[in-house]
Amino acid sequence: MASALEELQKDLEEVKVLLEKATRKRVRDALTAEKAKIETEIKNKMQQKSQRKAELLDSEKPAAVVAPITTGYTVKISNYGWDQSDKFVKIYITLTGVHQVPTENVQVHFTERSFDLLVKNLNGKSYSMIVNNLLKPISVEGSSKKVKTDTVLILCRKKAENTRWDYLTQVEKECKEKEKPSYDTETDPSEGLMNVLKKIYEDGDDDMKRTINKAWVESREKQAKGDTEF
């Protein structure tokens, strides 16, 4: 079955043949008008056909693949420093270039006994730091962060102002206290001292051991002579 465009082209050819044979002016004018009309319809059909072909080609093109913005892997922050004032416990985290990332890329979430820091898309990586079991409660509303050159400063507002924190976390406190030598007040005080000296001796180097041995021998000699100093 012939298409509409093919039919119009056939009509045009026939009108051209008739126009060549026509001799009367009225007939020739009518044929000329018809010829122009058909040519216009053919032109329009061809434009529509070209447009549909272009649309078809566009639809067949593979969709452009947009590469997702990735932030690489997440680095856990373990190095930091801290100090305190009467009102705040201040935690300093050094991250090169952190002042150049958008403000919304540096996020800190506070609870009464913890905080977590997340820095997104810094040099193709993310950085996180989570601190739980703070030594004492903090004010969530009063705590905040500041971004300075290559540094994130976390400000934990003390709930109890003018109190000193000896440690940042409860876990750190417990670990430090376990390392301290224990003294039993119900036992002989000299036994506790002996335990301390024993630990120092076991942990010390050769020079420390020679020093302790020398002091021990001299103490024994003095005791034997009965002139031990009190």
90 and 40: one domain? no
Take residue 193 and report the two structure tokens written for it. Answer: 């001292």
111 domain residue, yes or no: yes
114 and 147: one domain? yes
Q: Kindly report, residue by residue over 129-138, the tens digit of the pLDDT.
A: 999 999 999 9
What is the CB-side half-sphere exposure of residue 40 using CA atoms within 13 A?
6
Lateral strand order in the sheet of 114-122: 74-76, 125-131, 114-122, 106-111
Q: What is the CATH number of the domain that holds 25?
A: 4.10.860.10
90 strand-pairing partners: 83, 155
Q: How far apart are CA 44 and CA 115, in angstroms?
A: 70
Q: Kindly report, residue by residue over 166-214, the tens digit of the pLDDT.
A: 999 999 998 888 876 655 545 555 555 566 666 666 766 777 667 777 7
- Asked whether the CA dihedral 84, 90, 94, 100 is positive or negative, the reply is negative
Structural domain for 10, as ranges: 2-50
36 and 121: one domain? no
As for how many domains the chain has, the answer is 2
82 domain residue, yes or no: yes
Give Cβ neighbours of residue 168 (< 8 Å, ≥ 6 apart): 82, 89, 91, 131, 134, 135
pTM for this one? 0.50
